[in-house]
Amino acid sequence: MKAMNILVFFLFCCLSSKSVLSSPGHYNAIFNFGDSHSDTGNFLLSGALAFPVIKNLPYGETFFHHATGRCSDGRLIIDFIAEAFGLPYLLPYLAVAKGSPVRTGVNFAVAGATAIDSSFFSAQQIVLSTNDSLNVQLGWFKNLKSSLCTTKQECDEYFKKSLFLVGEIGENDYNFPFLFGRTIEQLRPLVPQIVGAITRAVSMLIEEGAVDLVVPGQFPTGCISAYLTLFQSANISAYDPRTGCLRAYNTLFKYHNKYLKQELQNLREQYPHARIAYADYYGASMSIYRTPKLYGFYGGALRACCGGGGPYNFNMSRLCGQTGSTLCKLPSAFADWDGIHFTESASHHIAKGLIYGGFTSPPLLS
């Protein structure tokens, strides 16, 4: 009876409308594109020259008990999404490129990656930590495709049962210019270009056969301890009194998200057969910044667990894992892992909000 009810519910919900993307067990594969927030090892396999600390503990200490190339103490949002769909953790493309094809999906994300091609930044003397931008990742996908399916029909069948995550990507398109002295006013006009790179990737994937896609927006990056340290202000009105986050930076990321949502609406009209969900990473993580103690973040949400001291435990010349950095005893009491990335515990709460809590629209799971 119960099974029947569930079946009727699914038939109703999924055939009569596009109100829910899917159910557990629905997908055979997940393909992910992005940056350090979802990289499960590509940057490490590519050498990790610009951020070598991720090669060693304490990275990975909480869950995997060794460094995997994830920029966290444990699992990332993408790992919790894979768990929710009953799929294995995504292997990094650079680990599978030469081996046998992985039918359950592959991760193309690279820590430090930008949405816009790297040449755009190098032309302005902005030095990135990787050139594996979104277009490079899409190229990897196309390379891999021939090992996954051959005829168009076979590919369409396979990709129809795959979930594509396009992001989060774009944060580094802001991070690196900020590090090289650009101002918010200078970067605001770049938003359409950054979003354009993301929506072009979505179009390309749909043309390649993707049907179910999730496109995340930006996090409130004005809340991470690196920003709070590097862009600190003596003017108290620079800070949101409810969270302590840097307002003007968050306003920029909110603008990016608004722009992205509009562009996704255009894509939905252009590709009515595709299901394109927007994932509100901003809203899902803002809950943590508003009420950190509700989530068990007794160290607050703004101070990094692992870092080189200072009010937010972040120092560019003493990064987590480098000499002179210290590590908190209980990472689960912190939302910010290393000043830039979330702890596993924060990622878990955010993932729950995205998967079950209404922060993805249409919802990711019924």
Ligand X SMILES: *[C@@H]1O[C@H](CO)[C@@H](O)[C@H](O)[C@H]1NC(C)=O
Judged by the rule CB under 6 A, the positions of this chain that interact with ligand X are 118, 122, 129-131, 235, 237-238, 308-310, 315, 317-318, 324
Question: Between residues 209 and 308, which has the closer beta carbon with respect to ligand X?
Answer: 308
CB closer to ligand X out of 149 and 179? 179
Nearest approach in angstroms of CB 121 to ligand X is: 9
Active-site residue, selected from the candidate residues 22, 35, 36, 133: 36
Output the DSSP codes for 256-322. Answer: HHHHHHHHHHHHHHH-TTSEEEEE-HHHHHHHHHH-GGGGT-TT-SSSBSEES-TTTT--TTS-TTS
Cβ of residue 47: shortest distance to ligand X, in angstroms?
8
Is 36 one of the annotated active-site residues of the chain? yes
Does 39 qualify as catalytic in the annotation? Answer: no
Of the pair 291, 322, the CB lying nearest ligand X is at: 322
CB of 299 to ligand X, least distance (A): 19
Q: Report the nearest approach of ligand X to the CB of residue 302 (Å).
A: 16
CA distance 260 to 78: 20
CA distance 47 to 27: 32
Q: Which two tokens stand for residue 177?
A: 């210019």
How many whole angstroms separate alpha carbon 71 and alpha carbon 199?
A: 26
List 79, 132, 212, 338, catalytic entry: 338
**16 or 237, CB closer to ligand X?**
237
First to last CA, the chain: 19
d(CA 342, CA 224): 9
State the Cα–Cα distance between residues 263 and 200, nearest whole angstrom. Answer: 10
Cα-only R_g, the chain: 20
16 is annotated as an active-site residue = no
Task: Classify the phi-psi angles of 363: left when phi > 0, otherwise alpha if psi is within -120 to 50, otherwise beta.
Answer: beta
| Residue pair 73/62 in contact by the 8 Å Cβ criterion | yes
Minimum Å gap between C-beta 289 and ligand X is 19
Which member of 256, 341, 348, 349 is catalytic? 341
Q: Nearer Cβ to ligand X, position 15 or 236?
A: 236
What amino acid positions are annotated as catalytic residues? 36, 338, 341
